[in-house]
Structure 1
Amino acid sequence: MGEEILRCIAELRFGDRVEVDWWDHSSREMRLTPRGKRKPQLFDVPPVHSIGWFFGVAGEETKHIVLTRDIFVWPSIGDFDVDAIAILVSVTKDVRVVAPSQMDPKFMALLKTAWERGQVCIVKRGKRLRLIAI
């Protein structure tokens, strides 16, 4: 992992709109057959381009960049549900800030507090991660 990636992640702030290029290691291989070619091309690690709001870095042993794509607000109980992705820092190729946070400051404060006090469970692995808002 390059020093430039670490520097960029350190400069991100909660709510920044970011794009992350990374390699998905959840699949062993992917076969694509381009038009006009008979043999499939093999990719052992497919590239991914993700866009979302930066929420922070999670994980005690293995660090993840957490981006949210959708934020569902439950006004009657003050809770939020988020559609999020956790990207391993070690497989990150590039991080770009598209725009600094443009969230309403009151909304962002409530969301950040919920994030800092909450827990997330990765269903496939059953591990709990401590959340850290930056």
Structure 2
Amino acid sequence: MRAISLSRDRIRTLAHEYRAGGLPEGRRENIQRQMLIFQRRMTLVSWSSRILYLAICCFVSVALLICLTTWRQMLSVVTLPIFGIGVALVGTAVILQFFEVQASYKTLALEASEVLRDASKL
């Protein structure tokens, strides 16, 4: 959740800088590209979090079903499919988090490229 908070703060800072005006055209383009990446990152984190919550619900359900199978044998048929769904959801969430991390590196590379380009003029 800290990453989401930091991304939101960074988006607000970039938006403020963009609206302030007086920026060179290169910087404006850089901010626009960063905002597109941040938007993608926020979408990935949002979906990843939702999927992880669903996976947790599946695992909790499996735990409850395992407990209940001693009471009712017919519930054992449902336990394994729900467990499989939970594992698939966790795998999907991990993949989405991977894409979010990749997008964060792109944002940092854009920011660093501008600074490094300006440093090369020294």
- Relative to the length of structure 1, the TM-score reads 0.21
More helix by share: 2
**Greater strand fraction, Structure 1 or Structure 2:** 1
Larger Rg: 2
TM-score, length basis structure 2: 0.23
